[in-house]
Amino acid sequence: MSELSETSVATQQRSPHLLSRWSWRELWQGQLWPVAVALTLIIACVFALSALVVRVEKIMTDQGRSVLAADLVLVSGNPIDDGILASASQRGLTVSAQTRFGTMAFSDENMQLVSVKAVANDFPLRGNLALSSGGAARVQSQHVQPGELWLAERLFSLLAVKEGDDVMVGDAQFTVSGLIAQDPELSFNPFSQMPAVLIHYDDIARTGAVQLGGRVQYRMYFVGADDAVASFRQSIELQAGQRWISESTQGRTGDLIDRARQYLSLTLILVIIMASATLVLTCQHYTTSRRETVAMMKSLGARKAWLWRWLAGQLLMLFAFAAVLGVGLGALLETLLRLPLGDILPDPLPPMGLMPVLTSILVALLVAIPGMGISLIKLVNTPAIAVMQPEGSAQSGSGLFSVSQASPWRFGLVLVPLGALLIWFGDNTLMWLTLLGLAVMLFLLAVIGVAVVALLRKKRWGPAMQLALSRIGRSPLATGAQLAALTASLMLLAVIWLLRTDLLADWQQTLPSDAPNVFALNISEAETQPYLAALDEQNIAHSSMYPVIRGRLVASNGKQFLKGTQTQQDNTNTRVESDQEQSDEALRRELNFTWRESPPVHNKVIAGAWGGEGTVSVEQGIAERLRIQVGDELAFTVNSQPFSAMVGSIRQVEWRNMRPNFYFIFSPDVVAELPATFLVSFRIGADQSPLLNQLGRDYPTVSLMDLRIMASRIQLMLQQVSLSLSVLAALGVVSGLLLVLTLLRLGLSQRQQEMKLYRTLGASRQRISATVWSEYGMMALIAGLMATMGAEGMVAALVHFGFELSPQWHPSLWLGLPVIAVGLVLALAQSMLPKLLQPLKS
């Protein structure tokens, strides 16, 4: 470009064809390759990640809906109005009805309280219902027909029946059709479960069990297009006793899916941030390398308009090239990312549609506008005098992080992606918390980094280290920017992996390996010791025996719940009842109470103290919802018998661990005299069904809740989500490593001119190498330690405020991340130093 003449510039300005050819040659032979690679990286990573996110989210959603047996379920304590069904039909939704009720089942020999599910022909609308009959030659069916009766496995032994026998359900006589091998609907409340039977919806009237005022639950199942289901749900105003169930509200599975979605979104955001930083760095490097060229062109008569056409041609070809290559590489990367999931992903895979392509190109464009535009505006505004004036003489600092004297209005381009973020993630608290935390963290890390370097410079070091520290501390602003950029890249990749680790650790508590999978209920006091002895004889691990009574919470400090009245005149205790209290489900049904001398080992007391006569320990969630505090006086009723207790402690309860848990645990003196039954939980293997049946025969009045099938299904879902998040986390870490390597590579490249100066002044190759090793080793160590602190703080905030989990400490990170940082720097320096020192050879 130094051979450019004024005539050639004028000719190029007059000839669009020659301008295009020149732009193409500049693209292939100039310094735009790093920018093209960065854009390709953004498009490929966003495409691969968004495509995998779309597939995994659809899979998780389908998994969640399969355990609902539908896309959306309406649960009601009263018959559901026909207008709701009409509204669903108008939107093209498929509807299936179900009624649930409890009643007695009678065989010739025994009787048993059962939970009846009366279902329609098309149940389930999602998932699989497996019904098995036919003796040795089993025949599988997926739908219940009129007149059929299907029993849970345990009922065959409890009722002493086999296929073909007659069983009375309420007033109706049925012939046993066979076994319920698999029911898609999961239920997690062992206290309210009874052995299940399936009958057809048309046979409800024959049973005579559904009576006015009886405890009956009505359900409607809906399936259809997502937008139609969402529109239908918004159009329905729920009445008292009604609620929706969807994949995001279904207990453990809903919690799992919701947090997995949050992690997927967060990972995508962090990958975009890191890829964007890579683009900004490479574009700044390009701007620096072409500054003298632009100055030369201006000195020979090139105008800004022509320069913009010249650059626009290059950038248009560059973006088209990056889009094609990025989408292609992204598709390949998404395929590779799915390889570890091959055994658990469904076949065929859910389609990903065009959204990943559009998203990746749009994200790259939004990032490129400020990422490239700010640097290019600076480049076009380069004065002609810059041909003779080095960039560093007109600026504070040098290199990639120099401070330009150009007009600051160009930084307004940052508002373009920020506006898109506002539209795209306007109500995503987790995303804004991440960005705000990252911005604050960057500022703090930059300040800390500069302070650490200043402190180190006060100490006496060897010549190489002294020269390295002098180089680092030459410009506090540039040093702070360099350390902040390196620290941020290390911190972000650590955040992605630590969040994944914390989420998986939390999900392991959803169903720990030793979680009980059978509950024995309704054990009489006389049977407690024999029953425990029977379990011990078979070496079955079990919980303590818990007494259970059923009652209601009716008042707090003299204030009656659900009635809106105030019975106590003390103004200090007067408070207005909230809508949340009025609608809290725990107030509208009987709860399971128990009493203990000591707290359960799987509960944690977080306020007050355990024990004391006349006290009750309250679960944290219900205490927060009903504003119950330590020292409050609570009133209860059991079988219309009132009693009260003072709140002695608040407990943190992990409801997902499938262990016996209670809202209220009393001191024995409060309720020990009330009649109670007992429960115990234990764990048996898949091959121990005969033992379970033997317990059912030996203790016919004890209800056994076998949750093994449900537990295995949760474990499968957990496995799918965990492996998917591990793959996504690995992709995020790879993106972070690419950013770190790009940052270090460009930083080392800019040292080449300084190395020439050092050599001219008589510095040896060994001294120059030692100085570079010391400089970047020290920066890597400082950045690694600061990234560790930043990652711990950021993960703690995200886990607590975003995922509503308890923050964890990560001791291995404090050693691992600094070692990784130093290792990356040393490896890169080892590979680049010989090339950088090549011009110095004699």
Tell me the C-alpha to C-alpha distance, in Å, between residue 804 and each of 259, 664, 800, 801: 10, 23, 5, 5
- Give residue 650's pLDDT: 94
Residue 823 identity: G
Residues 6+ apart with CB under 8 A from 682: 516, 518, 520, 535, 540, 541, 542, 543
Instruction: Report the alpha-carbon distance of residue 768 to residue 128 in Å, rounded.
Output: 70
CA dihedral 479, 484, 486, 492 (to 10 degrees): 180
Instruction: Report the alpha-carbon distance of residue 23 to residue 315 in Å, rounded.
Output: 9
To the nearest 10 degrees (0 to 180), the angle between helices 708-749 and 751-760 is 40
Distance of CA 712 to the CA centre of its chain: 22
Q: Which of 449, 425, 413 has the alpha carbon at shortest distance from 802?
A: 425
The secondary structure of 404-423 as a DSSP string is P-S-GGGGGGGHHHHHHHHH
Which one has a higher pLDDT value, 746 or 377?
Answer: 377
Q: Say whether pLDDT at 476 is over 50.
A: yes
Which of 7-21, 111-125, 748-762, 779-793 has the highest mean predicted lDDT (pLDDT)? 111-125
How do the residues of the chain divide into helix, strand and coil, expressed in percent and rounded to 5?
A: 55, 15, 25
Q: Say whether pLDDT at 567 is over 90.
A: no
- The answer to whether 564 and 542 are in contact (CB under 8 A) is no
Instruction: Report the alpha-carbon distance of residue 286 to residue 380 in Å, rounded.
Output: 13
Which one has a higher pLDDT value, 137 or 65?
Answer: 65
Which one has a higher pLDDT value, 548 or 346?
Answer: 548
- Provide φ and ψ at 71, rounded to 5°: -80, -30
SS (H, E, C) 441-497: HHHHHHHHHHHHHHHHHCCCCCHHHHHHHHHHCCCHHHHHHHHHHHHHHHHHHHHHH
Instruction: Report the alpha-carbon distance of residue 587 to residue 91 in Å, rounded.
Output: 35
pLDDT by residue (tens digit) across 662-681? Answer: 999 999 998 878 888 899 98
Instruction: Report the alpha-carbon distance of residue 741 to residue 829 in Å, rounded.
Output: 10
Which one has a higher pLDDT value, 637 or 817?
Answer: 637
Average pLDDT, the chain: 76
Residue 288, Cβ density class (10 Å: 0-12 exposed, 13-18 middle, ≥19 buried): buried
Rg of the chain's alpha carbons, rounded to an integer? 35
pLDDT by residue (tens digit) across 588-633? Answer: 778 889 999 888 888 889 999 998 889 999 999 899 888 899 999 9
Instruction: Report the alpha-carbon distance of residue 768 to residue 808 in Å, rounded.
Output: 43
Tell me how crowded residue 555 is: count the other CB atoms within 10 A of its CB: 20
**124: preceding bond cis by omega (within 30 degrees):** yes
| Sign of the torsion angle spanned by Cα atoms 733, 738, 739, 745 | positive
Instruction: Report the alpha-carbon distance of residue 584 to residue 605 in Å, rounded.
Output: 23
pLDDT by residue (tens digit) across 194-223? Answer: 678 999 999 998 888 886 656 788 999 999
Which of 19-23, 165-169, 390-394, 475-479 has the highest mean predicted lDDT (pLDDT)? 165-169
Q: Say whether pLDDT at 253 is over 60.
A: no
Instruction: Report the alpha-carbon distance of residue 477 to residue 838 in Å, rounded.
Output: 31
Q: Say whether pLDDT at 559 is over 70.
A: yes
Bridge partners for 546 per DSSP:
679
Instruction: Report the alpha-carbon distance of residue 41 to residue 360 in Å, rounded.
Output: 10
Q: Which of 288, 375, 401, 271 has the alpha carbon at shortest distance from 330?
A: 271
Beta-sheet strands, E only, within 267-368: none
Tell me the C-alpha to C-alpha distance, in Å, between residue 86 and each of 119, 244, 552: 20, 18, 37
Which one has a higher pLDDT value, 53 or 813?
Answer: 813
Q: Give the residue carrying structure tokens 């390889």.
A: 339
**Any idea which of 64-73, 389-398, 430-439 has the lowest mean pLDDT?**
389-398
- The answer to whether 267 and 729 are in contact (CB under 8 A) is yes
Q: Which of 157, 117, 124 has the alpha carbon at shortest distance from 142?
A: 124
What is the H or E stretch that residue 609 is in? none
In the numeric block, which tokens belong to residue 334?
């998404």
- The answer to whether 44 and 330 are in contact (CB under 8 A) is yes
pLDDT by residue (tens digit) across 134-169? Answer: 754 445 667 899 999 999 887 887 788 988 899 999
pLDDT by residue (tens digit) across 364-407? Answer: 888 888 878 888 888 888 887 766 655 544 443 444 444 444 55
Which one has a higher pLDDT value, 551 or 253?
Answer: 551
Q: What is the b/e burial string over 114-135, where b = at least 16 CB atoms within 10 angstroms of the residue's CB?
A: bbbbbbbeebbbbbebebbbee
- The answer to whether 449 and 487 are in contact (CB under 8 A) is yes
Instruction: Report the alpha-carbon distance of residue 189 to residue 360 in Å, rounded.
Output: 44
**Any idea which of 29-33, 116-120, 489-493 has the lowest mean pLDDT?**
29-33
Residue 835, Cβ density class (10 Å: 0-12 exposed, 13-18 middle, ≥19 buried): exposed
- Give residue 646's pLDDT: 94
Residue 619 identity: E
User: What number is the average pLDDT over the span 561-567?
Assistant: 51
Share of the chain above pLDDT 90, in %: 11
Q: Give the residue carrying structure tokens 């030459």.
A: 474
SS (H, E, C) 648-661: EEEEEECHHHCCCC
- The answer to whether 302 and 13 are in contact (CB under 8 A) is yes
Residue 704 identity: L
Instruction: Report the alpha-carbon distance of residue 830 to residue 779 in Å, rounded.
Output: 16
Is residue 352 very low, low, confident or very high in pLDDT (cuts 50, 70, 90)? confident
**Any idea which of 245-249, 309-313, 503-507, 738-742 has the lowest mean pLDDT?**
738-742
Beta-sheet strands, E only, within 231-321: 242-245
- Give residue 721's pLDDT: 62
**Any idea which of 511-515, 528-532, 548-552 has the lowest mean pLDDT?**
511-515
Tell me the C-alpha to C-alpha distance, in Å, between residue 8 and each of 15, 291, 414: 10, 19, 36
Residue 835 identity: K
- Give residue 358's pLDDT: 87
Instruction: Report the alpha-carbon distance of residue 759 to residue 766 in Å, rounded.
Output: 11
In the numeric block, which tokens belong to residue 791?
């990652």
**Any idea which of 115-129, 286-300, 401-415 has the lowest mean pLDDT?**
401-415
Instruction: Report the alpha-carbon distance of residue 443 to residue 438 in Å, rounded.
Output: 9
In the numeric block, which tokens belong to residue 740?
């770190």
Which one has a higher pLDDT value, 116 or 489?
Answer: 116
Q: Are strands 641-653 and 166-169 parallel, antiparallel or unpaired?
A: unpaired
In the numeric block, which tokens belong to residue 122?
């098309």
